[in-house]
Amino acid sequence: MKKIIIGSVFTLSGIIVVVGIIMAAAWFAPSITSWSGSKLWFAIFGAPQYGSDVVQSLFLGVPFVAGVVLAGAGLLILLVEYFRRDNF
pTM above 0.85? yes
Query: Could you list the residue range(s) of the whole structural domain that residue 6 is in?
Result: 2-32+55-87
Among 9-13, 34-38, 51-55, 76-80, whose mean pLDDT is lowest? Answer: 51-55
**Is residue 49 one of the residues assigned to a domain?**
no
**Is residue 47 one of the residues assigned to a domain?**
no
pLDDT recorded at residue 54: 74
Helix 2-28 vs helix 61-82: crossing angle, to nearest 10: 150
Distant-in-sequence, close-in-space partners of 34: CB < 8 Å, separation ≥ 6: 56
Q: Across the chain, what does the average pLDDT equal?
A: 90
**Is residue 39 one of the residues assigned to a domain?**
no
Write b or e for each residue in 25-64: b if 16 or more Cβ atoms lie within 10 A of its Cβ, otherwise e.
beebbeebeebeeeeebbbbbbeeeeeeeeebbbebeeeb
**Is residue 38 one of the residues assigned to a domain?**
no
Number of structural domains in the chain = 1
**Is residue 46 one of the residues assigned to a domain?**
no
Q: Can you tell me the mean pLDDT for 7-34?
A: 95
